[in-house]
Structure 1
Amino acid sequence: MSKRRSYGLLALALLGLTLLSGCSWWQAFSGARPIGYQPIRIGLAMATLQEERWWRDREYLAERARQLGAELIVQNANNEQQEQYQQVEYLLSRGIDVLVIVPHDLNQAAAAVQLAKKAGIKVISYDRLIRNANLDLYISFDNIKVGELMAEYLVNRTPNGNYVIINGAPTDNNCYMFNQGYKNVLTNFIKDGRIRITFEAWADDWKPEIAYQYIQTLLSQKKPFNAVIAANDSLASAVIEALSEWRLAGKILVVGHDADLSGCQRIVEGTQLMTVYKPIRKLAYRAADLAVAMAGGKNYKTNHAPIFNGKHFVPSEIITPIPIDKENMDIIVRDGFHRKSEIYMNVPSHR
């Protein structure tokens, strides 16, 4: 056989392989995408952008999706459950390949999951668990540990006294997990009479003004308390605002979580005891990685045992939270979560 004929057959074979694989000749050698290529589309249905942390989730998810060559389509329900359902309908109409949902309501969001599953779309429950839904994945932080860390810091500083607990939204499954964490630590102290829960309530839709009003009412009624567990830094901010009006900021210990900039500032200023840092970039990047793998039909592994959501055992990916106080604030700076100059803005000697 002549060399020319051999080369011709080789070329035909290569061409056949590239045609069978749906690739162009050029892509086979250069990795370029074929004409008409559509990137994986990730639909992100967010419950809210009210808190600082959710801006970060959105931006990190978008950043990682771009790095992976995927497209992120974002919707924000502004804490309206019906709006979130309609936004999921919209995302499905856009031809998404996978749905990532931060549910507004832990129970009602199951209807949106069912809608997506009927359309053959896989669903990731992001940060907040959706109850009784046939989810493909749940990715979040160890939220029970978040609550334990908050309560541990308080009992280490104030092992005796009257505590106030302000939980977040009753529609958010995380709040029940945080609360379980608080009680895991506090129960023995309560049983032996060292700690008394003088007031416990919930803040609908995580509204800071509700937390503010709770504290104002307790103070005006002269109800004694010396420690407050606020379910996040936004609620802690409202608590401390109310305390400051009674000249009690820094005297009554307050803990929160999320490591919001304002929360970190209050810690170094001395009005908030601690916060819990949840590495959001790590969470968002991992969620994007898993979403792309899932949409592409690739195998993937999770780092945690399945979690039961009331009806199904859901594969789960769980990330460890980190307690932050004055002594280890450099963790926040090293991670690039906040700049040192911003954290210490009101503490000139530490800028």
Structure 2
Amino acid sequence: MGRLALVAATVAIAATALTACSNGGSSSGGSTSGTSGASTAKVGLLLPDSVTARYAAADRPYFTAKMKSLCPKCSVLYANADADPAKQQQQAQSMLTQGAKVLVLDPQDGEAAAAIVAAAKQKNVPVVSYDRLIDSADLSYYISFDNQKVGQLQATALVDKLHADGVPAGSGILMVNGAPTDPNAAQFKAGAHSVIDKSGYKVLAEYDTIQWLPSNAQSWAASQITKFGTKIKGIYAANDGTAGGVVAAEKSGNFTPVPLTGQDAQLSGIQNILAGTQYMTVYKAVKPEAEDAAQMAWALLNGKSWSGATTTVSPKNGGTVKAELLQPVAVTAGNIESTVVKDQFYGSDSAAQICTAAYTTACTKNGIK
């Protein structure tokens, strides 16, 4: 990845890398009046991969709708890096060339994305670091969730479940962590270790999942199931995608499912919880995250401050960045209705999407309607 951080800011424009966002619905709040030029400005939204379902299903439409409500004549330029940091740098440069006045950037690689911030700074274009922290002190804002707390919630749920099931101290756990290039993954892992390391349970092995790919998680989990067998009493998985890979490995290896964590409340993860192949996930309310990022962009377009940035974070290379950190929520079968369904996380028909024929009985049992 080191060479990617050196990609020149003048990299050639990839003509097919970008598409203009649809306007989507509107949401309430915010003024539509702005300083000269702000009301017709272009705002860039760059997301990191297509593997994580929430980006296309939630982050992009929520951000676009809120931006539209704040600034009806503004244009949102959108790009997805498909897990390629070099491609993301090309996409960002293209947006700058097109005249984007603010970039909202969820980096595929937090270190490599510092080159994007530097290129934007040369054009006096502010950058909002979205969901993942970019390793640059030149950011205008950072918005995400308390990522260390995410790991703590996951590990606490796992440890408490093992205790409730009477699993004795000294028993083994696997850890399927996130991508090594994702700065959030390191925070999830640190939070999880802060709980697991003092739990009395033993980490048999752990793995940083390249590009968050479920197939990579599946291959690794399958090898560990072969190696450790019934010594494995619980599995920490950093998100629902990697958890899905673990579930596939358990099925193919005829291995009885053990308590398994996740994150993002993906539909597949929620259904795995109802099926009993996954124990929990972490719900992160993407709508306020995306909408507040749009508010940040609008404030920057108008030369104003965003009042919601109530804390600071420190990138690895030093300095501080104003930040808003939202609170994640642990979800098990018993509170699916009061979290993802109540918030219409998959739309107004969230319960119907969850409770397909295979999950009807479990939905009824857990009050999902």
TM-score of Structure 1 vs Structure 2, range by shorter chain: 0.7 to 0.9
**Among candidates 194, 197, 206, match of residue 187 of structure 1:** 197
The structural deviation recorded for 1:301 is 1.6
**Offset at 1:59?**
1.2
Q: Tell me the residue number matched to 2:51.
A: 50
Q: Deviations over 1:173-213 (max 9, x none)?
A: 00011011101111212xxxx21100101111111111101
- The AA in structure 1 aligned to 2:64 is A
283, 286, 295: which one aligns with 1:280: 286
| Structure index of larger Rg | 1
How far off is 1:34 after superposition?
12
| Residue of 84, 89, 95 corresponding to 1:91 | 95
Is 2:341 aligned against 1:333? yes
**How far, CA to CA, are the matches of 1:75 and 1:167 in structure 2?**
26
| Matched residue SS, 1:43 | strand
Alpha-carbon distance, 1:228 to partner = 0.8
The answer for the alignment partner of 2:243 in structure 1 is 236
Matched, 1:162 2:172: yes
Instruction: Note if contact 1:113-1:133 (Cα within 8 Å) is conserved in structure 2.
Output: no
Q: Take 2:105 and 2:33, find their aligned partners in 1: how far apart are those partners?
A: 32
- The secondary structure found in structure 2 opposite 1:158 is helix
Q: How does 1:243-322 map to 2 (within 5 A)?
A: 243-249=250-256, 251-310=257-316, 311-322=318-329
Deviation at 1:33, TM superposition (A): 10
Deviations 1:47-82 (A, max 9, x none): 212211111111111111111123211011111111
**Alpha carbons of structure 1 residues 236 and 32: separation in structure 2 relative to 1, 3 Å:** closer
What residue in structure 2 maps to residue 64 of structure 1?
66
Gaps of 5+ in 2: 1-31, 164-168
Q: Give the 5 Å matches for 1:181-220.
A: 181-189=191-199, 194-220=200-226
Structure 2 counterpart of 1:342, from 350, 353, 366: 353
Cα distance in 1 for partners of 2:162, 2:228 equals: 20
Cα distance 1:153–1:168, how it changes in 2: closer, same or farther (>3 A)?
A: same
Alignment of 1:16-55 (within 5 A): 39-55=40-56
Secondary structure class of the residue paired with 2:92: helix
Q: Does 1:110 align with 2:122?
A: no
SS in 1 for 2:197: helix
1:300, 1:150 → 2: CA distance? 31
Q: After superposition, what is the alpha-carbon deviation per residue over 1:216-245, rounded to whole angstroms, capped at 9, x for unaligned?
A: 111223442111111110000010111122
Superposed displacement of residue 32, structure 1: 9.4
Q: Is the 8 A contact 2:117 2:136 kept in 1?
A: no
Please say if residues 40 and 292 of structure 1, whose CA atoms lie closer than 8 Å, have aligned partners that are also in contact. no
- Does the aligned pair in 2 maintain the 1:84–1:104 contact within 8 Å? yes
1:303 shift after superposition: 4.1
- Paired residue secondary structure (1:188): coil
Partner of 1:171: 181
Q: Contact 1:268–1:344 at 8 Å: present in 2 too?
A: no
TM-score by length of structure 2 reads 0.82
Aligned 8 A contact 2:147 2:184 in 1: yes
Matched, 1:150 2:151: no
> For 1:285-338, what per-residue CA distance to the aligned partner results, in whole angstroms no more than 9, with x for missing partners?
010011101111123223432101022200001110111111100111110013
User: Secondary structure of 1:226's match?
Assistant: strand
> What SS class does the counterpart of residue 97 from structure 1 fall into?
strand
Please provide the CA RMSD for this pair: 2.0
| Larger CA deviation: 252-261 vs 180-189 | 180-189
Three-state SS of the structure 2 residue aligned to 1:92 is helix
Aligned residue pairs, count: 316
Provide the C-alpha distance between the structure 1 equivalents of 2:219 and 2:236, rounded to a whole number of angstroms. 15
Q: For the structure 1 residues 326 and 93, does the alpha-carbon distance in structure 2 shift closer, same or farther, using more than 3 Å as the test?
A: same
Give the C-alpha shift of residue 153 in structure 1.
Answer: 0.6
Shift of 1:133: 3.9
Give the letter for the 2:335 counterpart: N
Q: Deviations over 1:129-160 (max 9, x none)?
A: 01134111110001111100000011101143
Contact between 2:34 and 2:302, CA under 8 Å: does it hold in 1?
A: no
Hey, what's the Cα distance between the residues in 2 that align with 1:33 and 1:316? 23
Fraction of identical pairs, as percent:
32
Separation in 2, partners of 1:151, 1:32: 46
Q: Does the residue aligned with 1:241 lie in a helix, a strand or coil?
A: helix
The CA distance in 2 between the partners of 1:300 and 1:235, in whole Å, is 35
SS in 1 for 2:40: coil
